[in-house]
Every structure is written in C-alpha cells, then in structure tokens.
Amino acid sequence: MSVGAPRGLASSGQKPITEILHPLSAAEEPLSPGPDVTVTVGGDKEVALTNGTPMETLSPASASSLFNRLQLDDDLEADGRDLYASMETRDLFVTVDDPKKHVSTMETYITYRVSTKTSRIEFDLPEYCVRRRYQDFDWLRIKLEDSQPTHLIPPLPEKFVMKGVVDRFSEEFVETRMKALDKFLKRVADHPVLSFNPHLNAFLTAKDLNKRQGLALLTKVGESVKHVAGGYKLRARPAEFCAMGEYLDTFSLKLGTIDRIAQRIIKEQSEYLTELREYGTVYSSWAGSEQELRRPLEGVAACVTTCCGALEELSDNMSQDFLPVLREYVLYVESMKNVLRKRDQSQAEYEGRLEAAVLRKQEDRTPIPMEVEKCQDKMECFNADLKADWERWQSNKRQDFKQLLTGMADKNINYYEKCQAAWESLITLLQDRQTEDKTSETN
Amino acid sequence: SPPLYDHLFSCLSKENLIPCPHPSMVEKGTNLLRKMEINVVEAEKRTGKNTVNMQETYTVYLIETRPAETVPEGGTPATPDTLWRRYSEFELLRTYLLVTYPYIVIPPLPEKRVSDAYLEGKVKNLYKFKFVWHKLSADNLDPDFVERRRGGLENFLLRVASHSVLSNDEIFFHFLTEGWRERVLETGFQDKADSRLKSLSAMFRVKNPDKRFTALKHYCDELNTVISQLLRVRARVADRLYGVYKVHGNYGRVFSEWSAIEKEMGDGLQSAGHHMDTYAASIDDILEEEEHYADQLKEYLFYTDAVRSVCRKHELIQYELEMAAQDLTHKKQQKEELATGTVRVFSLKGMTSKLFGQESQEQRESRLAALEQSIQEGEEAVKEKNTECQEFVRTAWEDIERFKEQKDKDLREALISYAIMQISMCKKGIQVWSNAKECFNKM
C-alpha cells in the first residue's frame, strides 16, 4: 500500500478550476519572472515553455495548468495580490466599514457594516449588507477552525483589551480594529476553500446569526476535541514540515524584535517632538525683543512648528498602521504553528493506528481496517492542504511586508519632504529681505 | 543666487567645521585686513613650569600672518610669518583692549573652560549609545574642545582686525607679529584694568543715565537669557534626534538576520538593512555641523557681556559726573551759607563755630576764599566730566550702532545657514529612505 501523497486531494467544499493540478503547489520552484512562451527564429516556429517543454505536446489538462501559470506570472509582474485571488475568477468581494456605537441597558458595543458582492451560486442574492460585532467575527473564526481543521485560518485582532489602559471606543482603536477585521474577512473570502464554507455564507448573509452559545465558549487557541484523541506520539516529522516550524520560530522572533524597535522609535520621536516644540517657542519669544531679526526668527519658529506637525503625523502612522499589521502577523504565526501541531497529531494518529494494525495482522492475519486507510487519507489531505496554504501564506506574507515596509519608507520620505519645503520657503523669505536691504544700502 | 549665499554654501560644503570668517568682516576691508591675512592654523600641547614653579600642560595656538596679495595662477603664496600664543595671552590682549577702548564693544573670546553642559553631552552619548569612547578630559586638553577653541580664537582676531578703530592698535599688531609682551606692559594698562575691575563691580545708583543705554542694557539681559535658553534646548533637541537616528540602526541588524531565513525577500531586506545603517550613521556628521551654528549663537551670547560692559562704563562716567555736580552744588551752598550766615547745610565747621563761638572775620574770609577756589576747581571738573561723558556717549553709541548692524546681519546669516543645514539633512533623509524603498520594492 502506498503511503505516498498524491496531489490535489479531496478537501471540503467545491474546487474552482484554479485549484486543480496547480503546478506551483509544491514549495521549491522559483517563479519565473518573464513570459513563458518564446519563439525561436528559423525552421518551424517552435513555441515552447522556458523550461523546454514544447507546447504542442501538452495534454488538455496540462494546457489548463499552463494557462494558469501564464496568467499567474503576468499578475506577479504587476503588483500581485493573493495568488488565487489575482486570477480573473474572483467572484466574492467583502468589505468591513462604517463602525457604529450601540448603547443598551446591558452593554455598549460597536458594530461594523459587512458588505458582500458576489456572483456565486452558493449565494441567493448578488449583494448583501449586514451588521456584525466582534463577537460575530470570533464566532466565525471558531467555526472555521472547527470545520476546516486542515487549513490555516487568518487571525483576528486581539479580543481582550485592558479597560482603563485602552479606550475601546476611541476613534483610533475602532479604526485599527476595523482594518484588521476587514483584512481577516478578505483573507477568508480569497481562500479557495474557506470562502465556500457555509458558516462564512451565514456570516455574510444572515439577518441574525444563530450562534449556539455553547460553541462560542470554546477558546480560539484550544485544540479541537477531534484531534486530541488517542494521545499518539509523533516519531518523525517530514523535513519540509520541520523546516516550516523552524522558519516560524525564527520569524516570530524577528517580528518581535521589529515590534520593539518600532516602539522604541516612536518613543524617541515623541521625546524629540517635546523638545522640538519648546525649541520653536524660544525662537518666538526671541523674536519679541528684536526688530530687524523679528521676521527671520518668527520664520524659523514657524518652520519648526511645521516640522513638529509632520513628525507627529509620522509617529501616528507608525502606531496606527505599522504596528498593528506587525502584531497581526505574530498572531498569524501562532495560528500557523497551531495548524502544524494539528498536522503532527494527524500523522501521529495514523502511524499509531497503522503500527497497531500491522502488529495485529502479523498475529492473527486480521486485515488492516478501513479506519487506518481513512487516517492515512486524512493525514495526506492535511499535508496537501497545509502545503498549499503555506505557499499562499508565504506569498501573501511577502506582499504584505513589501507593502508595509514601502509604506513606512514612503511616510518617512513624506516627512522629510514637508520639512524640506518649509525650510526652503524660509530661505527665500530671508534672502529676499537681504537683497532688499542690499539695494537700499547702495542707493 | 546672491554672492552671500554662495559664500555660505562653500563654507559649509567644505569639511571645514570651524567658524569661517563672516562675510561682513571680509567686506569691511580695514587697513589691516587689506594688508594682512590672519589665520589660527594649529594647536599644540606644551609642558612648562607655571608661576608657582609647578609642571603644567597647556595648549598653544599657531598664528599665521601673510601679506594679503592675490596670488597669480600657478604661483605659490608667500610663506607666512608664524608665532605661537596661548589662551592666557589672548585674554591679556582682550583686557588691554577693554581698558584702552572702553567705548568700543570688544569682541569676545571663546569659552575659557570646558563647560559642564559640554561634558554632560559627552557622557550622555557614551551611556546611551555606546559610540566610540572619547578620552573624557575635564580639562582644556580635550581634542574637540581645543579644535573648537582654535576656530573661536581665529574668529576673535578677525573681528578685531576688521574693526575700524581696533585694527589700528599698535599692540594688536605686535600681538600678531612679535614682541608684544613688553610693549603691552609698558602701556601700564594693568593698573587701569585693576581700577576698572573695581569700579565695575561696585554698586552705585545713577540718577540720569542716557535712556538709550538703559534700554540697551535691558535688551542685552533679554538677549543673554534667550540665547542661553536656545542653546540649552538646542542641545536637548540634538540629543533626542541622535536617539531617533541611532535606534534605526537596529533595523539594519534585524533585517539582516531576517533575510537569512527568506528566499525571495532576502536580498531586498538585506540591502534595505544597509541603508538603515547608513541612516543611523549619518546623524554624527549632521550634529557636528550644527555645532557651528551653536558657536555662532555663543559668540553673540558672550557679546552681550561686552555690550553690557560699555553700558556699565557709561553709567560709571555718568555717576562720576553726577557726583561731581552734586559735590559742586554742595560747595556752592556752603559758600552761600557762609556768605549769608545761615546754616542750611550741615558742615562741621559750621557746627563747631556754633558750639565754640563765632570765628573771626579773617577766618571767615579765608574760608570763603578756599571755598571759591574749590568751587572753581569743581566747575572745571564738572565741565571736564561732562565733556568726557558726552564724548563717551557719542563714540560708544556710534560703535553700538555698528554692532547692532553687525549683529543683525550675522545672526540672519546664521539662521540662513541653519536652514541650509536642515535642508541638507532632509535631502539626506529622503535619499536614504528612497534607497530603502527601492530595496523593499525588490522584496
């Protein structure tokens, strides 16, 4: 009996064409940047892929994968988004916006508008608009984790905030949270498997979410009951999953370091800002006792004030846009580690059962029960899903960080540009006066 | 762009961080400067026995003078005359000038001792960011301090040399060339210096000072306060800015470590990290250049003392005049009493004559004669003092007007050069972050 892992195995939900026989579902191949099709001059026009495979010899199944691959590369050249979503087959669009405060006798909470546009037949209508609160997102996430244990579920922003430390109803907090919820939902909607989950459908469409309170009490991080059964011990984790684990460990360390550095920068900038403000006021007060120098000094004071404003904006950006995304990835890494653990469990269970069954077969020739095969299927399915999700996650991670870091660079550039403009206009002002004075002197 | 701007720019773009001669000085074109080029080019450590026969180490500065003639293309400039002078000799020169020209605002010398704030700055940097450990000396042999002082001394000489009155002083000329010590002692200025010191520290109330001088003194007090404040805050701002830049250096390291576990993202991250290192390192030069601005402010901080000195001298002369006038009035009253026989003003003679009987007609007449004599002398004294006072007011105010113009011009230029420095800093910032952004884009 083969224990090999065939590709593209059954997972729950319908599969769009994009998932069948995707040539890039394996981790290692680097994506080629340019068009795959080359035309050689002379002789018959032999059209071939850059890896040498001539086009004519491709079977229809491979042709579709070729089509996929070509489209993929085009999109990667452009500012690519999610691997799958960049395909022209995207047919589900979700947005989270419009936060509103609700005050009742029991509690005060925020709801967000969740808008959906879709052409999928799984949905009765092409458009939906519902209001959801954080609890509802949490419910969705738990449901997804339970029903899709082999897939990586995107993280939600932190559930609990210390009352008194953070104002849950401040504009900034709500804005940051809303962006994170929007990202969560978009990631789920872009996932080829998760997006077809019936719970997502309910979340997006139902007027009132009929959440069974019992399940809502399950914590996010807790293992699903199904997989803890048996207490099997894993013997040998395949190398590729070991590599994933190591990567995640190092990566989360680096994220933590970057978070600390960013926080330190914000702190230093804040202290710098305090001193800079006082600096500006000293120039203003000096201007008061001068005559000829009054305007230049006031000009300097104004420049300093402008720089203060620009700096404040820069720091705010770091706090509100940069840090939350960073922290979200830390949560993402934790989720991914969790999935790896579950995969280990699934493998351990299979190996455990197999060993027991083989021993029994040796003893009394009992055939290997169906359960063992089912376990094997489950494990292989898990491995395939995980690998696919891993690739997707890596690609998304690359795009997200590219965006995050270029954004940070942009904000810094803007800051310096604003300051430079302010000082340059001051020089013009000062120099005009100088030439005025000079001409009046010589007259 | 006007020639002023170009000159400033060339001053700043050289790696020349000492205060360069102010354009206003070179333009003045006194007789001395027309003939002679003056530079303080070097500093050297010497050891020798001091006045109490103890070994001491001190610094001497090399003064270079050469005829100010235009050198033809390809020709070599004439070899300069050189001599060494130590700080205490500069002090002596300045005291001589103060005493000899009390109505002139005498240019100030750079700081005598390493100030506490200077040391504080160094210690702070050491602790916070562990940069290269400079030999922290609490005395005046610290290389940075010596270098800054050298520039300050050259500035002082050029200020004197560009003053229409001071530049013609013989002693000054000999200070620059040779054999000044005997000459200066010959002038006997030491005695004048002592009495000046005594009178300046004395407390006295002037009834009718020239209002302009009172206002000027008040202005100097304000200027002194505000520049001190500005220097303090500027140092704190610089300290904070240093912190912001240096923390960014940590990004360099973490990006490098992170790039090691990445595939496609690795190169972009690594290169970006290098740019972050460059960014962090750039602050050292930026702040070094800003010290030049601080020095310009400091010069005017010390100038306020020189101006207050002149005001004080005016008050002294005015006081002497008032005392002389008061004395004269007193004597005149005495004469009147003596003549009319009434006693309004208390005098010992009057008292004793009351107690011990009238004096004889002879005695009275001799006393009257003496008084007359005294009154005449008194009137002469008042007249002289009045002339002295008016002359002082005239010449002092002339120099004060000159000083005001110089101050306005110099400080405005200082502000322009400060703005230029800020622009340069912004440009560097934009450059580095743009480079980093390019690397992030390649991720």
**pLDDT for the residue A442:** 52
Residues sharing a CB contact under 8 Å with residue A284, sequence separation 6 or more, in sequence order: A297, A298, A301
In chain B, where does the domain assigned CATH 1.20.1270.60 lie? Answer: 235-339+367-442
In the predicted structure, residue B344 carries a pLDDT above the cut 80: no
* DSSP one-letter code for A231: G
Tell me if B237 and A30 make a contact (CB, 8 A cut-off): no
pLDDT of residue A412: 97
| B2 with A434: Cβ contact below 8 A | yes
pLDDT value at B373 more than 80: yes
Maximum separation of any 2 CA atoms in chain B, in Å: 123
Residue B67's DSSP bridge partners are B36
Considering only the beta carbons, identify the residue of A265, A300, A416 that sits closest to B430: A416
> Closest by alpha carbon to B18, among B153, B138, B141?
B153
Partners of residue A294 in chain B, C-beta under 8 Å: none
Which tokens go with B24? Answer: 């206003």
| Contacts of B149 by beta carbon, 8 Å cutoff, 6+ apart | B43, B59, B61, B87, B110, B111, B140
> So what's the pLDDT on residue B345?
59
Query: Could B265 and A427 be called an inter-chain contact, meaning their C-beta atoms sit closer than 8 Å?
Result: no
SS3 content of chain A, % helix, strand, coil (to 5): 60, 10, 30
CATH number of A90-208: 3.30.1520.10
What does the pLDDT read at residue B18?
Answer: 38
Query: What pLDDT is attached to residue B209?
Result: 87
> Chain B residue with minimal CA distance to A441?
B405
Q: Give the mean model confidence (pLDDT) for residues B29-36.
A: 73
Average pLDDT, chain A: 77
How many C-beta atoms surround the C-beta of residue A75 within 10 A? 17
What are B316's two structure tokens? 């002294």
**Residue B62 in this model has a pLDDT that exceeds 50:** yes
CB contact under 8 A, A279 and B243: no
pLDDT, average across residues B242-253: 94
pLDDT at residue B213, as a whole number? 94
Contacts of A406 in chain B (CB under 8 A): 437, 440-441
CATH 3.30.1520.10 fits B4-202, yes or no: yes
**In the predicted structure, residue A220 carries a pLDDT above the cut 90:** no
Query: Is the predicted ipTM greater than 0.95, yes or no?
Result: no
The tokens for B2 are 């006007």
**Computed from CA positions of residues A115, A116, A122, A124, in that sequence, does the dihedral angle turn out positive or negative?**
positive
Task: Please determine, for residue B124, whether its predicted confidence score (pLDDT) is greater than 60.
Answer: no
Contact B247 A409 (CB under 8 A): no
B273, pLDDT greater than 90? yes
Chain A residues in contact with B419 by the CB 8 A cut-off are: 300, 303, 423-424, 426-427, 430
| Cβ-defined contact of A251 to B258 (cutoff 8 Å) | yes
User: Tokens 């990006």 label which residue?
Assistant: B255
Interface test with B, best of A418, A427, A435 (most B CBs within 10 A): A427
Of B241, B265, B437, the CB nearest to A410: B437
Mutation site for B-interface testing, chosen from A258, A413, A424 by largest number of B Cβ within 10 Å? A413
Phi-psi domain of A12 (left: phi exceeds 0; alpha: psi -120 through 50; beta: other): beta
User: Torsion over CA of B396, B398, B403 and B406, rounded to 10 degrees?
Assistant: -170
Count of CB atoms situated within 10 Å of the CB of B191: 10
What 3-state class would DSSP assign to A390? Answer: helix
B5 contacts in A (CB within 8 Å)?
431
Nearest chain B residue to A252 by CA distance is B258
Q: What is the pLDDT of residues A358-371, one digit of tens each?
A: 888 888 888 878 88
Q: What is the 3-state secondary structure (H, E, C) of A338-362?
A: HHHHHHHHHHHHHHHHHHHHHHHHH
Question: Which residues in chain B are classed under CATH 3.30.1520.10?
Answer: 4-202
Tell me whether residues A430 and B416 touch, CB distance under 8 A. Answer: yes
SS (H, E, C) chain B: CCHHHHHHHHHHHCCCCCCCCCHHHHHHCCHHHHHEEEEEEEEEEEEEECCCCCEEEEEEEEEEEEECCCCCCCCCCCCCEEEEEEHHHHHHHHHHHHHHCCCCCCCCCCCCCCCHHHHHHHHHHHHHHCCCCCCCCCCCCCHHHHHHHHHHHHHHHHHHHCCCCHHHCHHHHHHHCCCHHHHHHHCCHHHHHHHHHHHHHCCCCCCCCCHHHHHHHHHHHHHHHHHHHHHHHHHHHHHHHHHHHHHHHHHHHHHHHHHCCCCCCHHHHHHHHHHHHHHHHHHHHHHHHHHHHHHHHHHHHHHHHHHHHHHHHHHHHHHHHHHHHHHHHHHHHHHHHHHHCCCCCCCHHHHHHHHHCCCCHHHHHHHHHHHHHHHHHHHHHHHHHHHHHHHHHHHHHHHHHHHHHHHHHHHHHHHHHHHHHHHHHHHHHHHHHHHHHHHHHCC
**What is the pLDDT, as a whole number, of residue A164?**
63
Q: Which of A252, A273, A282 to mutate to test the interface with B (most CBs of B within 10 A)?
A: A282
Query: What's chain A's Rg over C-alpha atoms?
Result: 29
The per-residue pLDDT for A31 is 39
Q: Is the pLDDT of residue A286 over 90?
A: yes
Tokens of B172: 């000054």
Distance CA A420, CA B428 (A): 11
Please, which pLDDT band fits residue A165 given cuts at 50, 70 and 90?
low
User: Is the Cβ–Cβ distance between A391 and A83 less than 8 Å?
Assistant: yes
Which of A185-199, A204-218, B182-196, B414-428 comes out lowest in average pLDDT? A204-218
Question: Between A239-288 and A323-364, two packed helices, what is the crossing angle to 10 degrees?
Answer: 170
Looking at 2.60.120.650, 1.10.357.20, 1.20.1270.60, 3.60.21.70, the CATH number of the domain B235-339+367-442 comes to: 1.20.1270.60
Chains A, B: CB pairs < 8 Å: 147
Comparison of pLDDT for B163 and B202, the residue scoring more: B163
Chain A closest CA to B124's CA: distance in Å? 15
Q: What is the mean pLDDT of residues A341-348?
A: 88
Give the pLDDT score at A58.
39
CA nearest to A400 within chain B: B443
Angle at A108 between CA A104 and CA A114, to 5 degrees: 100
For chain B, how big is the Rg over CA atoms in Å?
31
- Selecting from A279, A285, A427 the residue whose C-beta is nearest the C-beta of B237 gives A279
What stretch of H or E contains A258?
helix A239-288
Q: Which residue of B has its CA nearest to A301?
A: B415
With the C-alpha atoms ordered B220, B222, B224, B230, is the resulting torsion angle positive or negative? negative
Cβ distance of A268 and B5 shorter than 8 Å = no
- Distance CA(A147)–CA(B45), nearest Å, equals 82
Instruction: Give the chain A residue nearest B247 (alpha carbons).
Output: A265
Name the closest residue on chain A to residue B222, using Cα atoms: A289
**Which residues of chain A make contact with B420, given a CB cutoff of 8 A?**
427
3 state SS of A54? strand
Residue-averaged pLDDT of chain B: 82
Lowest average pLDDT, out of A300-304, B112-116, B213-217, goes to: B112-116
pLDDT in tens, A1-21: 334 434 333 343 444 444 444
CB contact under 8 A, B240 and A420: no
pLDDT tens figures, A48-89: 444 444 444 434 444 444 444 444 444 444 444 444 444 556
- The confidence score (pLDDT) of residue A293 equals 93
Q: Nearest by CB to B226, which of A285, A296, A303?
A: A285
**Which of B1, B7, B225, B237 is the mutation pick for testing A, counting most A CBs within 10 A?**
B237
Top-confidence residue, A345 or A414: A414
The arithmetic mean of pLDDT across residues B224-243, rounded, is 93
- Chain A residues lying within 8 Å of B440, measured CB to CB: 402, 405-406, 409
pLDDT band for position B57 (50/70/90)? Answer: confident
**Joined tokens for residue B435:** 């480079």
- Interface mutation target, options B242, B430, B439, B441, chain A, most CBs of A under 10 Å: B430
Q: State the Cα–Cα distance between residues B226 and A277, nearest whole angstrom.
A: 15
Helix (H, G, I), strand (E, B) or coil at A14: coil
Q: Summarize pLDDT for A88-122 with one digit per residue, the tens.
A: 567 899 999 999 988 888 888 899 999 999 988 88
Q: What pLDDT shows up at residue A42?
A: 41
Distance from CA of B434 to the nearest CA of A (A): 7
Kindly indicate the confidence band of residue A29, based on its pLDDT and cuts at 50, 70 and 90.
very low
A299: which chain B residues are within 8 Å (Cβ-Cβ)? 415
Helices (H) then strands (E): counts for chain A: 10, 5
Contact by Cβ (8 Å): B106, B309: yes
Could you tell me which of B18, B83, B84, B30 has the C-alpha nearest to residue B299? Answer: B18
* pLDDT tops 60 at residue A25: no
Instruction: Give the DSSP H/E element, type plus range, for residue A419.
Output: helix A370-442
Domain boundaries, chain A: 90-208
Report pLDDT for A233. 73
Question: Residue A365: left (phi > 0), alpha (psi -120 to 50), or beta?
Answer: left
- Cβ separation A409–B243 shorter than 8 A: no
Predicted local distance difference test score (pLDDT) of residue A43 = 40
User: 3-state DSSP call for residue A116?
Assistant: strand
